[in-house]
Amino acid sequence: MPELPDLEAIRGFLNERLPGVRIEQAQALIPVVFRVPKADFQAILEGNIFGETLRQGKFLLFHLDSGHRLVVNPMLTGRFQYCLPQERRRAKTCMALTLANGWELRYVDERLMGKVYLVREDSLEQIPQFAEMGPDALSPELTAEVFAQRLRRHNGQIKGILVNHRFVAGIGNAYADEILFAAGIYPYRKRSTLSEEEVGRLYQSISSVFRWAIPTVAERTKDSLPLEEARDFLRVHRRGGEPCPNCGSRITEITAGRRITSFCRHCQK
C-alpha cells in the first residue's frame, strides 16, 4: 500500500515533470475505479493543462488549469507509471493520459480497489473519506497540543488509532509500526493507559520517522516511479525474527485482522 513517504515521493517526481504539460488524450480503461462518467472524464481532461500535484492524507490531487482536480485514492494496490506510450501496458492499467511532452501517465491497480475522481476545486468535500479526514500527519496545524487533544477522543489500541484517517491522515500500517518502535510503545497498548510523556514521544516520533523515510524513498524515486514500495530500509516492519536494531532481541511479527504488526517486545514493553 502506498503510504505517506511513497506518495510524497510520487508527488515530487510528478511535480518535476507535469506542471504546464497539456493532456492530449484521456483514456478511462477500467470503469470500476472511476467515480466520473467516461464522457466527462475525456471532455474535461483532453486539452487541459496540469498544474501542481498535491497530497492530502493518502489522496493525490492533480490541479488542472480548468479549475478541476483529478483526485486519486490508490488504496491497497494502486500504482502510477510515467512512461513512453509505446511501453506495453500492464493488465490492470485503469487510466492512461497521453501528454503533449511525448510521455504517458498511467494508473495501474491490480485489485481495482482504488478510486479516481474528477471534481471542481470547491467540491473536494464531496469525495468519500475526504471530508472526514483528520489533519495531515505533516500539517503544521498538527501541533503537539492538537495531537494530544485529538488522541483523547479515540479509544482502543494505539496502533489502530494511528492508522485511522479520522484521527490523523496519512499514516499506514508499515509506518505505524516504525512510529511506535521509535516511540518505544507497544502497539496493542490501550490509548487510555498512555502517559502524557508517552503521548509526547509518540507525537515526536511521527515527525522523526517521516523525516528520514521521505528523503530515502524520494532518492529511490528520482528517476522513475516504482511499481512496488520501498520497504527494505524500515527498521522493524516485516522484519519478524530478525534482531532488533536497538537491543538485538528478535522482532515479533503478528498477523491479526489482515494487518501485519511488527515490534520489539523488549523495546516496546
Active site residue 259: yes
The DSSP bridge partners found for residue 49 are 22
92 with 29: CB under 8 angstroms? no
SS3 of residue 192 by DSSP: helix
DSSP state of 20: T
**Nearest to 100, CA basis, from 49, 53, 61:** 49
Catalytic residue, candidates 3, 8, 178, 229: 3
Catalytic residue, candidates 11, 55, 58, 79: 58
Active site residue 2: yes
Q: Please state, as a whole number, how many other Cβ atoms lie within 10 Å of the Cβ of residue 229.
A: 18
What are 94's three cell numbers? 485503469
DSSP state of 245: T
Write the DSSP assignment of 31-47 as a string of letters.
GGGBSS-HHHHHHHHTT
Cα–Cα dist 208/57, whole Å: 18
Write the DSSP assignment of 142-156 as a string of letters.
--HHHHHHHHTT--S
Cα–Cα dist 138/207, whole Å: 7
Active site residue 159: no
Report, as residue numbers or ranges, the catalytic residues. 2-3, 58, 259
